[in-house]
Amino acid sequence: MFVDPVKILQSFGLGDSMIVADLGAGSGFYSIAAAKMVPNGKVYVVEVQKDYLTTVKTKAETDHLKNLEYFWGDIEKIGGTKIGDRITDVVIISNVLFMAENKKKLLEEAKRILKYEGRVLFIDWSDTSSALGPRAGSVINPVQAKEMFTTAGFTYEKDIPAGEHHYGIIFRKK
């Protein structure tokens, strides 16, 4: 396993009753782990591929998790997540920014759904040493990520460990 979502979420500091949005959730790697860590909170699972939403629902049912809500949505469009304004305490953006065609809109959508002082857990590939990683020209390095997020109105908080082939950064909504 390249990354351990539980360790990453623990270093991020999720609280028992937080409201979390996992944007571009894929197969629910972070969504399921977050749901277990916020038993009195909620996790919004946002994904553009319906098959992935079904996969996450199945995993949640197997683990008897009832605090997830699923949205088939476009994370690169304002309002595309179908989550209301200033609802979430945390937004997870993991391994999707490098694929986004409209990175600016993705960050604007994250900012829109975050409460004042809400935080973003940003995880992305640090290299292309794996067949699973992005093409070399698609990798967003930490310096580029920090510039994108600060330009979008976030403040840098800190770097966190995210595995051998990934890096993690925490940002806060200004």
In angstroms, rounded to a whole number, what is the distance separating the alpha carbons of residues 43 and 79?
17
| Residue owning tokens 């986004």 | 100
pLDDT in tens, 86-97: 999 999 999 999
Structural class in CATH, domain 5-173: alpha beta
Spans of all domains in the chain: 5-173
- Identify any residues that bridge with 122 across adjacent strands, giving them in sequence order: 93, 169
Q: What are the DSSP calls for 14-39, one per residue?
A: --TT-EEEEET-TTTHHHHHHHHH-T
Among 8-12, 34-38, 102-106, 131-135, the least confident range: 131-135
Q: What is the pTM of this model?
A: 0.94
| Residue owning tokens 């939403």 | 53
Encoded tokens for 35: 């749901």
**Average pLDDT rounded to a whole number, residues 3-27:** 93
End-to-end CA distance of the chain: 34
- Amino acid 135: pLDDT: 66
- Amino acid 165: pLDDT: 84
Among 108-112, 137-141, 160-164, the least confident range: 137-141
- Amino acid 55: pLDDT: 97
pLDDT in tens, 69-89: 999 999 999 999 999 999 999
In angstroms, rounded to a whole number, what is the distance separating the alpha carbons of residues 56 and 77?
22
Residue 27 has pLDDT above 60, yes or no: yes
Burial status of residue 59 (CB atoms within 10 A of its CB: 0-12, 13-18, 19 or more): middle
- From 87, 75, 86, 61, select the one nearest 25 (Cα to Cα): 75
Residue 1 has pLDDT above 60, yes or no: no
